[in-house]
Structure 1
Amino acid sequence: LHRYGWQPVLQYPVGSAELAAPPTVEQLALRMTALSHPVRMRLCRHLARSAYTTGELARVHGLTAPEVSRHLGVLKKAGLVTTRRRGRYVLHQLDVTVVARLGSDFLEAALR
């Protein structure tokens, strides 16, 4: 916007202080292995839409809470699920940005 008496201002986007390092081949294999199980894929479909507790996921999928907890542990270890505490409940949600980058990360690892 130009107006008489105003000084022009240029604004540049601020990048992050550190660029995220691309995942290693081992991390990529861990993520793809985590997604290869059909129960974990069903859990991811729910977790992509909203955050859920372990008990809620167990009820929806007809599994026990320890089974769901083990599958969530695999997804969390792979870096695909984030957790946050709300009172006495722990909410799990799919990290959609990590999943969205999975294809480009694979291609980058293959071309290294």
Structure 2
Amino acid sequence: MDRKRISATVALAAVLLSPLGAFGQAMSHARAKRLQEAHDRRHHHKAKIVGSSVAGGAVTGALVGGPVGAVVGAGVGAGGGIIANKIRKHHGIKHKMRHGY
């Protein structure tokens, strides 16, 4: 009888405390995201990545298609830079969560 009661108490505690684990993880994700965004703002990472992608796209487009190609290339480069920045930021957040910053 005693073993059943202890098992039931442990099972009940596990069920009741499981939402707290998810809450703790969400808080660490929020903190990691906040730290990553603050770091990026200080170092202007988004502007550097998107700006260099725009410049590279414009140069490539100008070589291939002249002035119209430069405009199209700049647009394509901007889109690629935004996607690359999002991936880099996501990786940084996951890295901070994994290492507990």
TM-score in terms of structure 2 length: 0.27
TM-score in terms of structure 1 length: 0.25
Which one has the bigger strand percentage?
1
Which one has the bigger helix percentage?
2
Q: Which has the larger radius of gyration?
A: 2
